[in-house]
Chain A
Amino acid sequence: MPHWSRWMVRMAMIHLCLALLLGIMVSFRPLTMRYPVVLSASPVYYHLLMVGWATQLIFGVAHWMFPRYTREQPRGDERWMAGIFFSLNGGLLLRTVAEPMLAQSGLSLWAWLLGFSALLQWLAGIGFILAIWKRVKEK
């Protein structure tokens, strides 16, 4: 299993645990009544599940299992995959903090960080499409 696939699967499982923990917190009424910031993390819960876990697991497994790019570089440039890994996880973790904080405080710093997190995640997604497209081919 290639290096970045292992890291992506690992991070996917960490995101799954974080999502489920957040799910418990969001549905625990005494906590949400005392700290309303937890309630505003509800979209983060869904995105940790669907982006952090499902999509990242797909990225990792596809990078490992899809047909080879070339004999010399079977999985393309590994540095590209490293960029996708850091961009996706950095963006998602930034969102995890910035989105509830923006909902609570309305500070423009959180808005900027949220915008930056959107850009990072988008770059990771487009980067993955570019990396994997040529490996989706008939044998």
Chain B
Amino acid sequence: MPRLSVWFIRLALIYFGLGFTLGAGLLMAKGSFLPLTIWRYRPLHIELLLIGWIVQLAIGVSYWILPRLSEANERGSKTPVRIALLALNGGVLTVCAGFLFEREWLVFAGRVLETGAVVSYTFHLHPRLMYSVWRKR
């Protein structure tokens, strides 16, 4: 497993732990074991699990496992993947801060970062997928 995948997957696991803990708290509040005010953190629960966990894990595993560019097992330039790692995590944290402090512009900025991350990763992935098609032909 390449180092960048280790970063993506470990960060995904951290977000998963946070999101799942918050989710358990929300459910406990539904059962009246915690104050219902915790429900204001529901958007955080969704953000942490959908983008922080699922999307990040998918990127980390696909970077590791999808076809490589050459017989020497090269995955291509790491720069767009590094950008994706920073932008995705910056994005998730910014969106969470936006929800926490009720600042819409932070949520917007975070979403822009997340989109940038996915575009950057797609830019990295495209030749790896095309090359495997050419090789088959």
**Which residues of A are at the interface with B, using a C-beta cutoff of 8 A?**
50, 54, 58, 65-67, 95, 99, 102, 110-112, 114-115, 117-119, 121-122, 125-126, 129, 132-133, 136-139
**Interface assignment of B33: CB less than 8 Å from any CB of chain A:** yes
Residue count of chain B within 8 Å CB distance of chain A: 24
Known interface pairs A54-B54, A136-B6, A138-B6; A118-B16 also in contact (CB < 8 Å): no
Query: Are the C-beta atoms of B30 and A121 separated by less than 8 Å?
Result: no
**Residues of B in contact with A (beta carbons under 8 Å apart):** 1-3, 6, 9-10, 13, 16-17, 20-21, 23-25, 27-28, 30-33, 49, 54, 57, 65
- Which residue of A95, A115, A138 contacts B1 across the interface (Cβ within 8 Å)? A138
A50 x B20 contact (CB < 8 A): no
Ranked nearest first, the 8 interchain pairs of A and B with the lowest CB-CB distance are A118-B27, A125-B20, A122-B24, A114-B31, A111-B31, A115-B31, A118-B24, A136-B9
Chain A at the B interface: SS class: helix
Question: In chain A, what residue has the closest Cβ to B60?
Answer: A136
Are B27 and A137 within 8 A (Cβ)? no
Residues on A with beta carbons closer than 8 Å to the beta carbon of B57: 58
Task: Decide if A126 touches B17 in the complex (CB within 8 Å).
Answer: yes
List 25 A-B residue pairs with CB atoms under 8 Å apart, sorted by A's residue number.
Answer: A54-B54, A58-B54, A66-B1, A67-B1, A99-B27, A99-B30, A102-B30, A112-B31, A115-B33, A117-B27, A118-B27, A118-B28, A118-B31, A121-B23, A121-B27, A122-B20, A122-B24, A126-B17, A126-B20, A133-B10, A133-B13, A136-B10, A137-B6, A138-B2, A139-B1
